[in-house]
Amino acid sequence: MAIIVQKFGGTSVADAPKIRRAAHRAIDAVEKGYGVVVVASARGKQTDQLIADALELNPNPPKREMDQLISTGEQQSVSLIAMALEAMGHSAISFTGGQIRMMTDGAFSQALIMSIEAERIHKQLEKGKIVIVAGFQGIDKDENITTLGRGGSDTTAVALAVALDAEQCEIYTDVDGIYTTDPRIFKDAVKMDRIYYDEMLEMASLGAGVMHIRAVGFGMRYNMKIHVRNSGNNNTGTIISAEESEMEGVSVSGATVQRDMAKIGLVKVDNIPGNAAKVFAHLAKAKVVVHDIIQTEISNQKANLSFMIGISDIDAAKAAIDQIKEEVNCEEVFVRDDIAEVSVVGIGMRTHYGVAETMFGALAEAKVNIDSITTSEIRISCAVDRDQADEALRAVCLAFQLDKQPHDRKNN
Amino acid sequence: MAIIVQKFGGTSVADAPKIRRAAHRAIDAVEKGYGVVVVASARGKQTDQLIADALELNPNPPKREMDQLISTGEQQSVSLIAMALEAMGHSAISFTGGQIRMMTDGAFSQALIMSIEAERIHKQLEKGKIVIVAGFQGIDKDENITTLGRGGSDTTAVALAVALDAEQCEIYTDVDGIYTTDPRIFKDAVKMDRIYYDEMLEMASLGAGVMHIRAVGFGMRYNMKIHVRNSGNNNTGTIISAEESEMEGVSVSGATVQRDMAKIGLVKVDNIPGNAAKVFAHLAKAKVVVHDIIQTEISNQKANLSFMIGISDIDAAKAAIDQIKEEVNCEEVFVRDDIAEVSVVGIGMRTHYGVAETMFGALAEAKVNIDSITTSEIRISCAVDRDQADEALRAVCLAFQLDKQPHDRKNN
């Protein structure tokens, strides 16, 4: 029996009618002959409410207790979905993470999945039951409840699909799929029918919401096809999969903008081995997430070092730099807190020339000044003034025809 | 280290201030040198809300899923209490029923406790932690979550106290303890300082709220002292304990009234062995709870058989009787649906004469007609017209001086 995993996010199970709609999805798949495993998040704003309840009692709650608390949201969802399915005449059984031995390490609030006991689920599927599994949660070896962190239910779903050797993992959400860029900024953005793991990873790490980066990474590692689709309609969504030979040949698949960025520069650091490592070790200790490091040599003794961070990390980053700046003999530290980063992503860049020129040209024509540029194999990012960010994104989208489906684009 | 178990009901942990108050109770006991285990119910109306959510999706939800759902209420309470304790500078850890291996049978929604793994709790107490355990829930051998039914958190608390060999089990509630009778009907009722297990069992089975009968039975079986007290003040409540030699010598400890009763009579049943058994077997099959059976022989061939039931069971009882009445050759079946039962309870009855006369005299003086009388070793119950029930209770309370503490009563 082919197995399909369907994941429903919080908005897709927010109330009784939506729970019934999700249940109907599962039944549709059963009627097509699939063994169906449903993964669900907590209903609507339940998790936020529980977090608020916790903070009212303790501004800094112990993470173990926080996981014990918020994991109840998913447990409620799965039992309610099972009840809805039973009311519709289908046999169903719900499981918590613990009940299917979703074993994790003991890193509360950001646990990593170690193993899953697929046997208990297979047994229930063989009995003809629809199996509903609580997303976002597992247990450690001491039976403590652990949660997987933001987007954890996506990760649960993909991991289960892998463990059960499912045909596909469907991620139901409140949008039609993955868009070429954020439609709130570029209204002509189009939904992609397909995106490759590498591209999705880059897009997710650049802040494109929809799918959690860990889940995409899991899918890529085990080559599990992920179908992101709308729980409100029957449209085909976006398939996230491995590269195929019949590549459509577009250079750029999507574009992103990260608005709340800051740039920190260390001017004239001693250019000796180990200095950069010291700087970033301090930043890591301060839990600052660093993007896009640029180092330029200005003499054979001195170099300039700059990097991008989220704006909320500015204070932590400055404190960390203050501790190290004399040791690395830095002459000056500057901070720009008015930066945004516009990026284009596409595995086609590996084989297409001229992508950088097209991007820089489009920005120049829109009179957007580029502060700095970084690239990876399948990505080009430009730091720009935050005031010009949306304008910059739109210019880039038009230049790469991201308002059109790939087969309709010209001269790609 | 002496251990104390403290149980807080839903109203005692309904919001953040009440959770803090409960946490302070635990800290008080810690500061007196106790190892403290807290058992908590779901907050306020959480369970009712979850049941409503379930019924919206399925008017007849599977019991396993119902237990999976409603057990989350207690899980939320215990993690929040642990957070509150940590915020007050005390080390705490919360456990679900499953995490302490509160093993039950698989009777969802009314599971029976089989065993408890006290070791995990002892280990945490030895580390100086306050341990918070979710009431009302356990797991069966297949890791399914089971709940213990109404009043289950009381049972959890007493069972844990027994398993941990605690000095005492404190039951915190929103009243000062056990009263001689219901103060809503007899306003001069007084709180008892002490009541014996046998008496409490009778009172509870006669509908006196406060403590659940299973928890009292557990306490009696293992001789665990239970202290029922108010979570809103520091008053001593009521101690439920085994009989002691220095008995205070009162004949009647408390009085109850059960208003919504009905009486069913089978007139002129064949008086042959096995007929009564057949009648009550049919009623049990129909899940009718039967109180106070009276059989009177009217000839050596015929007997009258009557019994009391809750008024909500009338239809089920009548249907059950209809199936059997020809077989037992019953001439007539009558139903009285306007009955209430007034009872007095006291282990002193075993040694005191004249209790029945005092009760019947008080009712006669109040012009209350007695429909029927039943007695046990420590209880006398009179069925009366429902219209006269409150009046009857008050008359009986005054006759036995239940408005006074035992040592203030005269001629007991």
CATH 3.30.2130.10 domain range(s) in chain B = 254-406
CB nearest to A83's CB, from B57, B79, B145: B57
Contact assessment for residue B345 and residue B256, using Cβ atoms and an 8 Å cutoff: yes
Contact across the interface for B58 and A16, Cβ inside 8 Å: no
Place of tokens 């009722």: B189
Which pLDDT tens digit goes with each residue over B20-75?
Answer: 999 999 999 999 999 999 999 999 999 999 999 999 999 999 999 999 999 999 99
Contact across the interface for B72 and A68, Cβ inside 8 Å: no
The Cα–Cα gap between A166 and B377 comes to 66
Closest to B159 measured CA to CA, from B205, B203, B116, B209: B116
Radius of gyration of chain B (CA): 23
Output the six-digit token pair for A218. 């899991």
Class assignment of domain B254-406? alpha beta
Which pLDDT tens digit goes with each residue over B185-196?
Answer: 999 999 999 999
Contact across the interface for B79 and A86, Cβ inside 8 Å: no
Closest to B341 measured CA to CA, from B378, B370, B305: B370
Output the six-digit token pair for A83. 């009840």
Averaged pLDDT of chain B = 92
Mean pLDDT, 10 residues at a time, over chain A (412 residues)? 95 96 97 97 94 97 97 98 98 97 93 93 97 97 92 93 96 92 93 92 79 88 95 92 71 91 92 86 88 85 90 92 90 93 90 86 93 88 94 95 89 60
**Chain B residues in contact with chain A using a Cβ-Cβ cutoff of 8 Å:** 16, 19-20, 50, 53-54, 56-62, 64-66, 68-69, 71-72, 75-76, 78-80, 82-84, 86-87, 92-94, 96, 98-99, 143-145
Closest to B335 measured CA to CA, from B321, B354, B345: B321
Contact across the interface for B53 and A16, Cβ inside 8 Å: yes
Cα torsion B264, B268, B270, B274 to 10°: value is: 20
Contact across the interface for B62 and A86, Cβ inside 8 Å: yes
CB nearest to B69's CB, from A69, A80, A92: A80
Mean pLDDT of B309-320: 92
- Residue B223: which region, alpha, beta or left (left: phi > 0; alpha: psi -120 to 50)? left
The Cα–Cα gap between A356 and A84 comes to 53
- The pTM for the full model equals 0.85
The amino acid occupying position B401 is Q
Interchain CB contacts (distance < 8 Å): A and B: 115
Beta-sheet pairing, A238-241 with A194-196: parallel
3-state secondary structure at position B169 = strand
CATH 3.30.2130.10 domain range(s) in chain A = 254-403
Q: Which residues of A touch B98 (CB under 8 A)?
A: 98, 143
Query: What CATH code would you report for A254-403?
Result: 3.30.2130.10
CB nearest to B143's CB, from A86, A99, A145: A99
pLDDT of residue B248: 55
pLDDT of residue A245: 60
Which pLDDT tens digit goes with each residue over B362-394?
Answer: 999 999 999 989 888 889 999 999 999 999 999
Contact across the interface for A87 and B50, Cβ inside 8 Å: no
Is B412 a residue whose pLDDT tops 60?
A: no
Phi, psi of B366 (to 5 degrees): -85, 5
Indicate the helix (H) or strand (E) that contains B101: none
Contact assessment for residue B109 and residue B14, using Cβ atoms and an 8 Å cutoff: no
Beta-sheet pairing, A92-95 with A130-134: parallel
Contact assessment for residue B82 and residue A57, using Cβ atoms and an 8 Å cutoff: no
Contact across the interface for B93 and A64, Cβ inside 8 Å: yes
Contact across the interface for A79 and B65, Cβ inside 8 Å: yes
Residues 6 or more apart from A328 whose CB is under 8 A from it? A266, A269, A270, A275, A278, A279
pLDDT of residue B294: 87
Beta-sheet pairing, A130-134 with A137-139: unpaired
What letter does residue B129 receive in the DSSP assignment?
P
pLDDT of residue A247: 54
Intra-chain end-to-end CA distance of chain A, in Å: 42
Output the six-digit token pair for A64. 């173990």
CB nearest to B72's CB, from A64, A75, A82: A75
Q: Which residues of A touch B63 (CB under 8 A)?
A: none
What letter does residue A344 receive in the DSSP assignment?
E
Is B93 a residue whose pLDDT tops 80?
A: yes
Sheet holding A379-385, edge to edge: A290-297, A302-310, A254-270, A332-345, A379-385, A370-376
The Cα–Cα gap between B331 and B59 comes to 40
Is B92 a residue whose pLDDT tops 70?
A: yes
CB nearest to A16's CB, from B56, B84, B94: B56
**Superfamily of chain region A3-174:** Acetylglutamate kinase-like (3.40.1160.10)
Rounded (10°) angle between helices A16-31 and A63-87: 60
Mean pLDDT of B165-180: 94
Give the Cβ contact number of residue A222 at 10 Å.
Answer: 13
- In our burial notation (b when 16+ CB lie closer than 10 A, e otherwise), range A240-262 reads bbeeeeeeeebbbbbbbbbeebb
Give the Cβ contact number of residue B98 at 10 Å.
Answer: 25
The DSSP result for B310-331, as a single string, is EGGGHHHHHHHHHHHTTTTT-S
Is B116 a residue whose pLDDT tops 60?
A: yes
Nearest chain B CA: its distance from A360 CA (Å): 53
Q: Which residues of B touch A59 (CB under 8 A)?
A: 87
Nearest chain B CA: its distance from A57 CA (Å): 5
Contact assessment for residue B78 and residue B43, using Cβ atoms and an 8 Å cutoff: no
Closest to A214 measured CA to CA, from A135, A140, A293, A131: A135
Q: Can you point out the beta strands (E) in A17-159?
A: 35-40, 92-95, 103-104, 113-115, 130-134, 137-139, 145-147
3-state secondary structure at position A161 = helix
Nearest chain B CA: its distance from A22 CA (Å): 12
What letter does residue B179 receive in the DSSP assignment?
B
Place of tokens 């000095």: B167
Output the six-digit token pair for B145. 């979550």
The amino acid occupying position A11 is T
CA closest to A75 among chain B residues: B69
CATH 3.40.1160.10 domain range(s) in chain A = 3-174
The Cα–Cα gap between B55 and B149 comes to 18
Contact across the interface for A76 and B50, Cβ inside 8 Å: yes
What residues pair up with A262 in beta bridges, in sequence order? A309
CA distances (Å), origin B132, targets A54, B118, B156, B174, B372: 16, 13, 12, 20, 48
Place of tokens 């596409």: A346
**Chain A residues in contact with chain B using a Cβ-Cβ cutoff of 8 Å:** 16, 19-20, 50, 53-54, 56-62, 64-66, 68-69, 71-72, 75-76, 78-80, 82-84, 86-87, 92-94, 96, 98-99, 143-145
pLDDT of residue B411: 66
Give the Cβ contact number of residue A386 at 10 Å.
Answer: 19
CB nearest to A58's CB, from B59, B60, B83: B83
Which pLDDT tens digit goes with each residue over B197-218?
Answer: 999 998 888 876 678 888 999 9
Percentage of residues of chain A with pLDDT beyond 90: 72
The Cα–Cα gap between B41 and B26 comes to 15
The Cα–Cα gap between A192 and A239 comes to 8
Indicate the helix (H) or strand (E) that contains A55: helix A46-57
What residues pair up with A334 in beta bridges, in sequence order? A265
Phi, psi of A373 (to 5 degrees): -130, 135
Q: Can you point out the beta strands (E) in B174-280?
A: 194-196, 226-230, 238-241, 254-270
Nearest chain A CA: its distance from B63 CA (Å): 10
Is B115 a residue whose pLDDT tops 70?
A: yes
Nearest chain A CA: its distance from B124 CA (Å): 13
3-state secondary structure at position A226 = strand
Q: Best mutation site among A47, A49, A76 for testing chain B: the one with the most B CBs within 10 Å? A: A76
Contact assessment for residue B299 and residue B318, using Cβ atoms and an 8 Å cutoff: no
CA angle, B66 then B72 then B74, to 5°:
115
Give the Cβ contact number of residue B106 at 10 Å.
Answer: 13
Output the six-digit token pair for B121. 């709790």
Percentage of residues of chain B with pLDDT beyond 90: 72
3-state secondary structure at position B376 = strand
Contact across the interface for A68 and B94, Cβ inside 8 Å: yes
Give the Cβ contact number of residue B90 at 10 Å.
Answer: 18
Q: Which residues of A touch B103 (CB under 8 A)?
A: none
